[in-house]
Every structure is written in structure tokens, then in C-alpha cells.
Amino acid sequence: MENKKTVGFIGGKFLPLHQGHIYVIIAASNYVDELYVVVSSSKNRDRELCDREGIKYIPAENRLSWLGEALNNLENIKIIHIEDDQWEDNYDWGRGAEMIKEAIGKPIDFVFSSETGYGELFKKYYPDSKHIVVDDERKTVTTSATELRKNLYDNWDKLPNCVRSHFTKKVAIVGTESCGKSTLAKKLAKFYNTEFVHEVGREYCEKFSNLLTREMFDQIAMEHSLLQLKKAETSNKVLFVDSEATITQYYLEMYLPGERSKLIEEIIALQNYDLVIFLEPDVKWVEDGFRFAGEDAQRIKNNEKLKQMFQERCINFISVDGNYDERFNKSRELVDNLFKKENLE
């Protein structure tokens, strides 16, 4: 006769998922043959909670994908989603238990949590299940989701990489030719001990000796956008981006007058930067064999054209000028302001 498999579940909002959650889930999975991780979500409740505690809203699909990545290859763990519209102060535990039991579809032997206070509720609504409390004193990972939401960036080390990318501040460094974008992006990345995304268009110019086709500009924009997603996963709270899709559209019009890409415009519309630093062309022109608009009058004209392109697309930016030292320090102050408490709330 085949032995009956033991079944357990652990639930939560996972707003956001953190290493404490992962530890408790792994510990719970060691008790049973099958562990169900139940993600409970409500668009209205969860959005209000995130707004109240000053963090970026986390849709349920993000939380599910985080758990999927964090727990992949752990074969006895299954992730399910239950959506309700109940609020914390009047949560209907009876209805919630019915939805969980229906979703799991088999007898539940164990219910896991990190709260001893849930004991009586689980005894009432899961009378045939044993409640097991794991790490209720938070000794393994010394934080809770509530504490983490209040001090997200101070608890960065407790977030899985896939979660960090959601909260990584993205700073675009933009401007016309030879205004120090690449240099500043590299210096800021070194100072903040984080990643930067290089200018993909520059690679194409070097590879094809500055002889680019119309299709290459679409490729540049797509590669640059995908590279930002990849780098965000390994960034330390902030990611610096050398140029962005509006710059690619600008160069397309410069290289091939009259041309404009619908695909690039779609990428521009999807961009979401926390800060756009626009470098004024008041540093010395540096000839590198690829640039061709070095005269002062032309630099001023191109600068105004690029600003207009940002304004037409309703992209806010902050102008930064001065010598290289002044630019670095002005930019550093702008970045630091992103993490001040009043700007996080």
C-alpha cells in the first residue's frame, strides 16, 4: 500500500518577498512531502498598504514570479495564488480557509507560520492540521516584511536579487555628443559600488565604422533596454544608464534625416527612470573619430533639439553643467536625494 504523502501550506502577502520568507518556506518544506506556498493578494488592499508605507506597489504577478525564481528546482514546493478583496482589519478567516482548501484540493496535514499568535485561528479553521511555528523570534533573518517596508534600502541585503531589481533606482545620464555621459556614468557607478549600463550605440558605431543602417537603431534600443533589466538584478540600490531610447531616436534622426522609429517610441513609452540627468554641452569637445557636431553653434542647436524631444515626450530631466568635478558632485547630490526619507514616502 502506498504511503500517503504529507501536505502542508504556508501563506502570506509577500510584500515584498525577503530572505526570511525563503528560510521559513525551505524549513517548512523539510517537514512535508508537498508544501503549498499561498500568495494572498488584493489589488486595493495591497496598493493602499504600499502607498501607506512608502514603497513601490508590487502587483501579485511580480510576487509570484519572485517566488518562482527564488524556489525553482525545489520539487516539493508548489506556488498558488488566491485573490480576495478583504482588508486586514476585517479579514474573513473562514472564507480565506475555504479558498485555500479548495485551491489545494487535498487534506492539509500541517499549517506553517512564523507567528505563535495565529495558533487559535489555525486551530479553529484548520482543525485537522497541525500548526508549526518556524523562527518566530526572527533569529535566522532578523527582519519582518513590515519592518523591511519601513526601511527598505537599509535592509537591502535581506532582499533576493530578483526583488532588488524591482526597487533599484534607475538614473539615466543623457545629453548630446561629447558632454561626458559615459565618463559620469562610470564614475557614479564606482562611487556607489554598483552597476552601469554602457551606451550600446557606441558599440555599433565602432563595429560598423559609423556606417549604420536604419534597422540597427531598433536593435540598439532593444539591446540597451534588455541590458538594463539584466543589470538591475545585480545593482546595489541604484543603476546608472548611459543614454536611453530618446537618445537613440535623436541619433537616428541625425544619421538618417527624416527617419523615425515606431519601435523606439514604444520603448521610450515603457521607460521609467527615477532620475534623468541632462548634461549641458559646456565641457571641451573631444574628437574620437565618430563624432561630427563639434562646432559651438551646432552643439547648442543639437542640445536644444534634444531637450525639446524630451519635453515632447513628457520626460522630466534635471540639467547639470560645470566642469567634470562640479558635474560629479551635483549628480551625486541628486542621487543621494532619491534615498532621503521624505522622497521615499
Read off the pLDDT of each residue in 298-315 and give the average, rounded to a whole number: 94
Grid coordinates representing 182?
559615459
Residues 6+ positions from 218 with CB-CB distance below 8 Å: 261, 263, 264
pLDDT score of 145: 79
Check whether residue 136 and residue 192 sit in a common domain.
no
Q: Which of 123, 154, 185 is the last residue of a domain?
A: 154
- Asked whether residue 1 carries a pLDDT value surpassing 50, the answer given is no
pLDDT score of 287: 61
In a domain, 123, yes or no: yes
Q: Are 267 and 322 in contact (CB under 8 A)?
A: no
pLDDT digits (tens, 9 = 90+) for 239-278: 999 999 999 999 999 889 989 999 999 999 999 999 999 9
Check whether residue 234 and residue 284 sit in a common domain.
yes
Q: Are 227 and 271 in contact (CB under 8 A)?
A: no
Percentage of residues in the chain having pLDDT higher than 90:
70
pTM: 0.87
Q: Which of 99, 121, 154 is the last residue of a domain?
A: 154
In a domain, 309, yes or no: yes
Grid coordinates representing 278?
541632462
In a domain, 1, yes or no: no
Check whether residue 124 and residue 209 sit in a common domain.
no
- Asked whether residue 136 carries a pLDDT value surpassing 80, the answer given is no
Q: What is the DSSP string of 207-256?
A: HTTT---HHHHHHHHHHHHHHHHHHHTT-BSEEEEES-HHHHHHHHHHHS
| For residue 59, cis peptide bond before it (omega within 30 degrees of 0) | no
Percentage of residues in the chain having pLDDT higher than 70:
91
In a domain, 2, yes or no: no
Could you identify the residue written with the cell 560645470?
322
Amino acid at 257: P
Check whether residue 72 and residue 176 sit in a common domain.
no
| First CA to last CA distance, the chain | 59
For residue 113, give the CATH number of its domain.
Answer: 3.40.50.620
For residue 238, give the CATH number of its domain.
Answer: 3.40.50.300
> In which domain, by residue range, is 133 found?
7-154
Q: Which of 154, 177, 212 is the last residue of a domain?
A: 154
Q: Look at the chain and report how many structural domains it folds into.
A: 2
Check whether residue 30 and residue 124 sit in a common domain.
yes
Check whether residue 238 and residue 311 sit in a common domain.
yes
Check whether residue 207 and residue 110 sit in a common domain.
no
Question: What confidence tier does 203 reach under pLDDT thresholds 50, 70, 90?
Answer: very high
In a domain, 159, yes or no: no
Check whether residue 149 and residue 208 sit in a common domain.
no
Check whether residue 212 and residue 327 sit in a common domain.
yes
Q: Which helix (H) or strand (E) holds 318?
A: strand 318-320
Check whether residue 205 and residue 334 sit in a common domain.
yes
In a domain, 336, yes or no: yes
- Asked whether residue 90 carries a pLDDT value surpassing 60, the answer given is yes
Check whether residue 103 and residue 204 sit in a common domain.
no
Q: Which helix (H) or strand (E) holds 291?
A: none
In a domain, 181, yes or no: yes
Rounded Cα gap, residues 333 and 325, in angstroms: 12
Check whether residue 147 and residue 172 sit in a common domain.
no
The DSSP bridge partners found for residue 133 are: 113
Core vs surface per residue 160-192: b (16+ CB within 10 A) or e: bebbbbbbbbbbbbbbbbbbbbebbbebbbeeb
Question: What confidence tier does 105 reach under pLDDT thresholds 50, 70, 90?
Answer: very high
pLDDT digits (tens, 9 = 90+) for 108-127: 999 999 888 888 999 999 99
- Asked whether residue 2 carries a pLDDT value surpassing 70, the answer given is no
pLDDT score of 293: 58
In a domain, 28, yes or no: yes
